[in-house]
Amino acid sequence: MLMNDSDRKNLGFSTRAIHPVRREEDDGIRPHTPPIYQTSTFLFEDVDQGARRFAGDESGYIYSRLGNPTIRILEETAADLENAGDGAAFASGMGAISAVLMQVLSSGDHLVASRTLYGCTYSLMQGILPRMGVEVTFVDATDLSAIESALRPNTRALYAETPANPSMDLVDLEGFAALGEEAGVLTIVDNTFMSPYLQRPLDWGIDIVVHSATKYIGGHGDVVAGLVASDAEFIASLKGEAMKDIGAIIGPFDAWLLIRGLKTLQLRMQRHSENAQCIAEWLEEHPRVRKVNYPGLPSHPQHDLARKQNPRGLFGGMISFEMCGGYEAGRDLLNGVRLCTLAVSLGATDTLIEHPASMTHSTIDEEDQLKVGITPGLVRLSVGVEDCEDLIRDLERAMEKL
Ligand code: LCS
């Protein structure tokens, strides 16, 4: 027997992640893992059935851009883990973010966004959105009063990442949601850095959550994908327009990889967080490091907020830190490590090290980079699930050579 929705309600996070939401699979074969429906289209019994499905008078699959059973398992399972009414999966995090913004915003609308965002999210808001007639104001989203002051009568949505890439600044989710509610505007939060195991923005009243599922949800650095979680009404509108008509859909095999990734999300996030806490504490004591940005450190200016929003006492695997000696020191550290992998992206099982100013955030001009703490000497580490002592030894050896 397959579990029904009320059975799931009483289950813990890990159990729900390990047992994906599976509806009827009535071909009698009953595979243990969900099948990959690697098909672009679905058969109709006859012309009338095709017409009924297109008219919405009969449920059932039509064409994989409009829905696919493997993708649906991922969407429902991910939504369940975010405590959302429903979910939608996309070809990439940027596919998810752009679809949400296209769905929510129209020409003449205004968006208030955090000034600290992943480089391509920022360039989407700075380049494409204004070209389509949407005004965007970037604010310091750690300061709720700055967000409030930026509101205008035509503001339609507020957008932030928390923790933000790569500054590790936090947004007060409860306050952010309350501001949106009071102003009658939608709140959108990118939960990529935390994953639903460590933080569930919808529980604080946020309207829409987006993810680069490329990162912790996939977890192994082998898939590019995005997810959206929200109430069922918003997801239905997103699927009915921005997903259907723009078409940045995920493929069935990539969806299957994410269903598999979710099963170990809790184990990985626990270990990523423990390793990152240990490395952040080590870096903070290192004479060649000027500053460490990690919400799990008491020195993080929003450490109390981090404890409130991450009640498990785990603060994720992402650290950024500023080297004494600026760009040259950062470059030499990145060139000197052997075990840490010199690559962008994050959330893989191995530790990745990169230079935000010249890589992930190079789409932001230098003046704006500096405003959000992306200095030439800033290094970003996506701490993996290796043995922590080995990572510290690798970093120590590279630091000694500086
Ligand atoms: N949101 C955040 C917070 C991200 O870090 C990224 C990608 C995206 C959205 C976009 O997701 P994608 O389309 O790549 O799945 N961040 C990257 C990074 O920091 N390094 O490489 C990609």
Co-location of 283 and 230 in the same domain: no
Which of 216, 234, 263 is the C-terminal boundary of a domain?
263
- Lookup: tokens for 72: 């649906």
Query: Which spans in 44-142 are helix H?
Result: 47-55, 69-81, 93-104, 119-123, 129-131
CA nearest ligand 1 atom 4, residue? 118
CA-CA distances (angstroms) from residue 242 to 136, 320, 385?
20, 34, 36
* H or E stretch at 303: helix 303-309
Look up the CATH number of the domain holding residue 125: 3.40.640.10
Q: What is the pLDDT of residue 26?
A: 67
Tell me the pLDDT tens digit for each residue of 163-200.
999 999 999 999 999 999 999 999 999 999 999 999 99
| Residue whose structure tokens are 């920022």 | 122
The answer on 188 and 256 residing in a single domain is: yes
Looking at the fold, whether 82 and 179 belong to one and the same domain comes out as: yes
Q: What does the alpha-carbon distance between residue 157 and residue 209 come to, in Å, rounded to a whole number? A: 13
Cβ atoms < 10 Å from Cβ of 131? 7
Pinpoint the alpha helices (H) of 151-212. 173-183, 195-198
End position of a domain, from candidates 263, 295, 326: 263
The beta strand positions in 1-56, using DSSP E, are none
Last residue of a domain, one of 229, 245, 263: 263
Given this model, what pLDDT does residue 22 score? 92
Same domain (yes/no): 116, 204: yes
Residue among 173, 177, 175, 193 at smallest CA distance from 185:
177
Shared domain check, 331 and 241: no
User: Checking DSSP bridges between strand 155-161 and strand 110-114, what pairing results, if any?
Assistant: parallel
Residue ranges, the chain, pLDDT below 70: 1, 25-26
Q: What is the pLDDT of residue 5?
A: 82
Q: Which domain holds residue 295?
A: 266-400
Does one domain contain both 96 and 183? yes
* Residue among 101, 122, 191, 192 whose CB has most ligand 1 atoms within 8 A, to mutate: 192
pTM: 0.98
Q: What is the pLDDT of residue 60?
A: 95
Instruction: State whether 185 and 59 are in the same domain.
Output: yes
What is the domain count for the chain? 2
Q: What is the CATH number of the domain that holds 367?
A: 3.90.1150.10
Q: At what angle do helices 265-285 and 252-263 cross, to 10 degrees?
A: 70
- pLDDT given at position 4: 80
CA distance 208 to 234: 8
Q: Please give all residues whose beta carbon lies within 6 A of any atom in ligand 1, as ranges.
A: 92-94, 118, 121, 161, 165, 190, 192, 212, 214, 224, 226, 344-346, 360
Residue 177 and residue 37 share a domain = yes
* Beta strand pairing call for 378-382 and 352-354: antiparallel
In this structure, how many other beta carbons lie within 10 angstroms of the beta carbon of residue 359?
Answer: 15
